[in-house]
Structure 1
Amino acid sequence: METRSTRSTVTFAHPFHIAGYEDELPAGDYEVVVDEDLLQGLSFEAYRRSATYLLIGGRTGGRGISEMRPIDPRDLDAALARDQAQPEQS
């Protein structure tokens, strides 16, 4: 089965939690990796999401330890919505 991965960046303005993990993550930019599998047997090319990961840790330039945490995309969307609903701190 063919798999493709896409990467995007999300930004949290406030510390946040992701469902399924107890630790609080600091505000900042986080990379999201989405893996999709090619659906076989169709007359056109189509993919189905098979996994979503949030990259935690590491530093710019690829230095430091990082962790790919599997997450539910709905949990990520909920965390982003909570972050955006919080008032800006002065």
Structure 2
Amino acid sequence: MKERKTYTEITFVNPFVLQGLVTPLEAGTYRLVVDEQFVEGLSFPSYQPVATHLEIPAVSAQLVTRQFLQVSADEIEEALKKDAQSQCSEPEQ
């Protein structure tokens, strides 16, 4: 079975919260990794998402490393939407 990964960078202007996290993540740019599986039997090439992960900094006193948090595409979309709305609602200076 053929598999592939797609990588996308997403940026949050404000701190944000996702399910499964105790504390909010800092504003910044994060890498979103989507694992996709080839769909066989079609007359054209097609891939179906099977897992989505957000690459986040790992908490470690000794090493600076990364960890992957499994998320849903809907959860990421909603967090990005809330972040964009908060930008629009801030008063101008």
Partner of 2:38: 38
Please give the TM-score of this superposition, normalised by the length of structure 1. 0.85
Structure-1 residue corresponding to 2:84: 84
Shift of 1:23: 2.0
Instruction: Looking at secondary structure, tell me which structure has more strand per residue.
Output: 1
The residue type equivalent to 1:29 in the other structure is T
Asked which structure has the greater CA Rg, the reply is 2
Which sections of structure 2, spanning at least 5 residues, go unmatched?
none
Write the letter of the residue equivalent to 2:56. I
Match of 1:49 in 2: 49
Letter in 2 for 1:21: L
Q: What RMSD, in angstroms, separates the aligned Cα atoms of the two structures?
A: 1.9
Aligned sequence identity (%): 34
Answer with 15-24 or 68-77: which moved more: 15-24
- How far off its partner does 1:65 sit? 1.1
Total equivalences in the alignment:
86
Structure 1: 4+ residue segments shifted above 6 A: none
Q: Deviations over 1:37-63 (max 9, x none)?
A: 0011222211100111100016xxxx8
Contiguous gaps of at least 5 residues in structure 1: none
SS in 1 for 2:81: helix
